[in-house]
Amino acid sequence: MNPLAKRIIPCLDIKEGRVVKGVNFLGLRDAGDPVEVARRYNEEGADEIAFLDITATHERRDTMCDIVRAVAKEVFIPLTVGGGIRKLEDMYTLLNAGCDKVSINSSAIKNPSLVDEGAKRFGSQCIVVAIDAKSKADRSGWNVYINGGRIDTGIDLLEWTKEVYERGAGEILLTSMDADGTKAGYDCEQLQTLSKLVDIPLIASGGAGTMEHIKEAFLSGADAALAATIFHYKEIDIMDLKRYLRSEGIEVRL
């Protein structure tokens, strides 16, 4: 696979073993069986799939492992799983079940050494640090939020990105809370700023509404674009998107 090819990653929110879809975690509707949905994305040309256990608790870890096992049997593209991963054992359990990467967010803020430990134990390529960021009130930059965007940590986005990079994160999954759910485009200023700061892959998340938005994210320094709604409700077909990107001079895997 061309390492320079840009990646398209559909994201599936999982609650109690089902794919759900809502706006800002509210009004969740059942959107299908994870294995079926993952299989569909695999056939439609997705480069990777991300699963997010949005109500992750210890009791539900087993459900998630069962899903990962079932999906890994059916799907032959990389699988990233996030939600409720608090310690090395959790990473081991999920990687052992068949996912390729684990994504950590709030737990990395609460225990930054989890990034170092995970990278050392499983390799940087397995560790994705997800960051939810929102503009500061004075527009002087962005702060990092945790707990599904409910708590402002007061930590500066650039400082935190640099820290997790130095600790061994293999990728950054950046969600712009200002853009998320708006379908008005990714936060390109944020992407440009971060892509100049670190030289690990940057996954853009939050705000995709059109094919042009995804092109803009790539031109702004993103290595991959993650989206949910546009793929879920078939507003954009993945292969159509890839053909469009290629026609615009952006390297993708067809």
Q: How far is CA 47 from CA 6, 25, 80, 201, 221, in A?
A: 9, 25, 11, 14, 18
Q: Would you name the residues annotated as active-site residues?
A: 13, 132
CB 87 within 8 A of CB 61: no
Tokens of 237: 């077909």
Query: How far apart are alpha carbons 105 and 112 in whole angstroms?
Result: 10
DSSP states of 87-111 as a string?
SHHHHHHHHHHT-SEEEESHHHHH-
Query: How far apart are alpha carbons 3 and 1 in whole angstroms?
Result: 6
Query: How far apart are alpha carbons 229 and 134 in whole angstroms?
Result: 21
Q: Is 241 left (phi over 0), alpha (psi -120 to 50) or beta?
A: alpha
* Residue environment code for 224-245, b if the CB has 16+ CB neighbours within 10 A, otherwise e: bbbbbbbbbeeebebeebbebb
